[in-house]
Every structure is written in C-alpha cells, then in structure tokens.
Structure 1
Amino acid sequence: MQAADIAKLAGQQIGTSEWIEVTQERIDRFAEATGDFQFIHVDPVRAAQTPFGGTIAHGFLTLSLLPLLTERSDCPVAEGTNMCVNYGSNKLRFLAPVRAGKRVRGVFKLLELEEKRPGQWQQVMEVAIEIEGEDKPALICEWISQFFV
C-alpha cells in the first residue's frame, strides 16, 4: 500500500497488535536500563503490601512497547519504507497499572498522515494499550512517528 493510500484512512482504526506478556523479568531489565528501582516495580514482597497487590510495570516501560506492538500488529506499512523514527507524543496519560504477568496489546487509530518532505511522512496515531481482562487501558496517547520511503 502506498503512503498516500494509508493517509486516506485517517480517522479510522487501522490495526490491533497481538498480546504481549509483561513479565517480571522484562520489568527488572527495564529497571536496570533506566535506573528506576522503585520497589513497586522490583520488590514483589513489598509491592504485595500496596494497593497494587504486587509489582507493576513502569509507565515508561509500557510506553516503550509501542514500536514492538506496532511491529506485531496488522497496521498497514507503506511500500518502500526503509526507516521509522519516534518523533514524540501528545496527550499521554497512564490510566491503569500493568501488573507483572499481565498481557497488553495496542489498538491503533490513524489521526493524520502527511508528507513533510519528499519521501518523509509523519503520522499521528491515537493509541490505547489495553490490558487483557481489564476495563481501563494502561495508557492512551497520540503517538507521532516518521517514516521514510
């Protein structure tokens, strides 16, 4: 599909990802990478004493899953795309904790796709990262990325 054809899908849900498990090991590795060792993330015994009832993923870990969730989705990819980069986010909100062992998925709605320069496209997607079996999503945001064809 050409990028210009994908742009015509603005305003529509364009994809849903497969479910991804957020394991304690993934949470611990994220803590190592970022230096965020708050006990609610890495200490199951102490975290069990909180209203969360156990460890939870870092909000920024959940956010960082966007590229993986996109890759494992049925979102259309423009023919000839050779590189994608994150550009930013609008209206990011963390709505519900992701408990260790839960599965999440991304639901993607294309808000806008425009060519900034020849071959350089910027897309804005409304994304909800849903938690399996829960009513509230972990987060919602408008995610801005660019891809090059």
Structure 2
Amino acid sequence: MRTFTTLDEVAAAAGEELGTSEWVTIDQQRVDTFAEATGDHQWIHVDAERAAAGPFGGTIAHGYLTLSLVPWLGSLVFSFETPGAKLNYGVNKVRYPQPLLVGRRVRAHVALGDVADLPAGKQALLRYTIEIEGEAKPACVAETVVLLLP
C-alpha cells in the first residue's frame, strides 16, 4: 500500500507505477445488485440461461460495474492522506477491451500519470488497468482525474 501524505509527495511520484490490488471475484450477486441499482437488466448481465447460449457463453458484468470498481480496487493499492479534500473530477478515457464473464477474478494495476498545479491545489491523473485472471486483454482501461486540495 502506497500512502501519500503531502501534495509534494504526490507530485514527486508522477509517472510511477503504484502497484496492483489483490484479486477479486465478480459473482452474479454483485452483477444483479448493480443491475437493480442502475435499472440495467439487459439479459446478457442477468439471465444466466439465455446468456449461456449467447456470444460469451455466460453472463458478463456491466462495463459501468467494472468501472465503478476503480475507486475500491485503487484503495487497495494507494491512499491519498493529504490534508485537504480529495475530489473525483472525472474520467478522461474508458475502454472495455474484453468482456468480463461472471465468476472470473479481476485486479487493478494502477499508475500515477501527470500531476499538475492548479490554483486550487493539484490535479492528478490515475491510470487503471482492470486485469482478468488468465486473459491477455483487460476488462477495463481507464484514466481518472482527481483534484487534491490543500
């Protein structure tokens, strides 16, 4: 676990690999709960019988479910314990190169990209690769933006 306690530490680490989280299994209950929360009940996510005959041989996690794991998986790798607020500012890029079959395990590989000075503090880019165990392509690649206020 990498912990940053000052904005200067964050800036000095720009461009560094921060590490990799533990593996986490994506089960059908998590997918069903996400479907319930978002209203996205597409059969490819929630109907195991129909999905078994579909293009992937089973249900797959929602892309946005995979993306929503980024903050939690990231917290297993690093922590911003800087004095001020930490604000999610958005996402610059998101891609889903490989469907994530339910029952598979994923982990996040995290790198700190550019860290820019802003009048309000620092803006940090974080690059996440959500790997699927045993697969060559990741489930998700995303670049997020965090504002760190003093």
Alignment TM-score, normalising by the size of structure 1: 0.89
Q: Within 5 Å, which residues of 2 pair with 1:1-149? A: 1-73=5-77, 75-80=78-83, 83-118=85-120, 120-149=121-150
Percent identity over the alignment?
45
String of CA shifts for 1:43-73, please: whole Å, max 9, x gaps.
0000001121100000000000011101112
- Secondary structure of 1:27's partner? helix
8 Å Cα contact 1:6/1:76 also seen in 2 = no
String of CA shifts for 1:21-47, please: whole Å, max 9, x gaps.
211000000000111000000000000
- Secondary structure of 1:121's partner? strand
Distance 2:122 2:81 in 1: 10
Q: Are residues 60 and 8 of structure 1, via their aligned partners in 2, closer, same or farther at CA, if it must alter by over 3 Å?
A: same
CA RMSD of aligned residues (A): 1.6
Distance 1:146 1:128 in 2: 20
Structure 1 ranges of 4+ moved more than 6 A: none
Gaps of 5+ in 2: none
Displacement after TM superposition at 1:93 (Å): 0.8
How many residues were matched structurally?
Answer: 146
Gaps of 5+ in 1: none
8 Å Cα contact 2:7/2:148 also seen in 1 = no
Displacement after TM superposition at 1:140 (Å): 0.8
Distance 1:147 1:39 in 2: 40
